[in-house]
């Protein structure tokens, strides 16, 4: 189980952005964090991944305090993170990147499987270089494939729908369903998308650096569509 205990985080100017966040995620569950822009959702994901360090509070992995671990050590211990805006890796092919993420050479079947998960054809993309010739949407899908290649226990996705076309997004939804159902992975997804919220087990609404609402999707999801809640947490319907 991955647990945050009273996590707080300050911006460089001293402003407190996250104000005492506590929740847990566990394998076999899909948890969606949603809420208005600027509420601290992406910063929270970076804290879990090890890109930032909390000002106070603790992050626990299966009961062990990992608050001081960097992103490399967290990745080695089963936490994988997909950026909202993917980075470019010049000099590497798509296959190189997937094999680097997996930590070993990948057979054709596995390469095809990973790229098909995100709506790409392995024959067309495996040898392509990871450079500016790839569109933003293509880079986004490839990065999601690298997260899946790591076979980590805890998968964190920051707005995975960004830059992805409708067909690929539908395929990604099915991937999230499959990952949840195999009971080996805990998925933590930051999203406003209704279709992602619909498949969540639990939903956490963060606004102004605090948890405004949390619970099962059956309980929280209908609240997001009330007139009062929609002013707090706008929901995106389409991709």
Task: Name residue, tokens 């506590």.
Answer: 22
Strands lying side by side in the sheet with 2-10: 16-25, 2-10, 56-61, 64-65
Average of per-residue pLDDT across 224-229: 60
pLDDT digits (tens, 9 = 90+) for 135-192: 877 887 888 889 889 888 999 999 888 777 777 788 788 888 888 887 688 999 999 8
Average of per-residue pLDDT across 39-57: 94
pLDDT digits (tens, 9 = 90+) for 198-223: 999 999 999 999 999 999 999 998 88
Counting other chains too, the contacts that 172-175 makes at CB distance below 8 Å and 24 or more residues apart are 172/117, 172/118, 172/119, 172/144, 173/199, 175/117, 175/118, 175/148
Q: Please state, for a pLDDT cut of 70, what percent of the chain lies above it.
A: 91
Nearest to 2 by CA among 197, 224, 225, 187: 187
Task: Name residue, tokens 């990871």.
Answer: 130
Q: pTM, whole model, 2 decimals?
A: 0.86
Predicted confidence band at 228 (pLDDT cuts at 50, 70, 90)? very low
Question: CA-to-CA distance for 153 and 236, rounded, in angstroms?
Answer: 28
Q: Are 30 and 220 in contact (CB under 8 A)?
A: no
Predicted confidence band at 227 (pLDDT cuts at 50, 70, 90)? very low
């Amino acid at each position: 189980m991955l647990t945050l205990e009273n996590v707080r985080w300050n911006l460089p100017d001293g402003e407190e952005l996250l104000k005492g966040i506590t929740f847990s995620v566990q394998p076999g569950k899909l948890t969606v964090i949603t809420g208005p822009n600027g509420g601290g959702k992406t910063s929270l994901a970076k804290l879990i991944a090890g890109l930032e360090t909390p000002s106070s509070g603790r992050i626990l992995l299966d009961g062990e305090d990992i608050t001081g671990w960097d992103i490399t050590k967290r990745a080695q211990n089963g936490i994988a993170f997909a950026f909202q805006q993917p980075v470019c890796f010049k000099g590497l092919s798509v296959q190189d990147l997937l094999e680097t993420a997996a930590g070993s050479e990948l057979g054709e079947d596995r390469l095809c499987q990973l790229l098909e998960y995100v709506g790409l054809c392995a024959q067309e993309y495996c040898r392509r270089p990871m450079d500016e010739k790839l569109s933003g949407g293509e880079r986004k899908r490839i990065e999601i494939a690298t997260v899946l290649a790591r076979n980590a226990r805890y998968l964190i996705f920051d707005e995975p729908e960004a830059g992805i076309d409708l067909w690929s997004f539908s395929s990604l939804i099915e991937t999230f369903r499959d990952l949840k159902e195999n009971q080996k992975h805990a998925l933590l997804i930051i999203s406003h998308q209704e279709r992602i919220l619909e498949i969540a087990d639990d939903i956490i609404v963060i606004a102004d650096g605090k948890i405004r609402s949390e619970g099962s999707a059956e309980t929280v999801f209908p609240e997001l569509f009330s007139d009062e809640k929609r002013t707090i947490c706008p929901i995106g319907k389409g991709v």
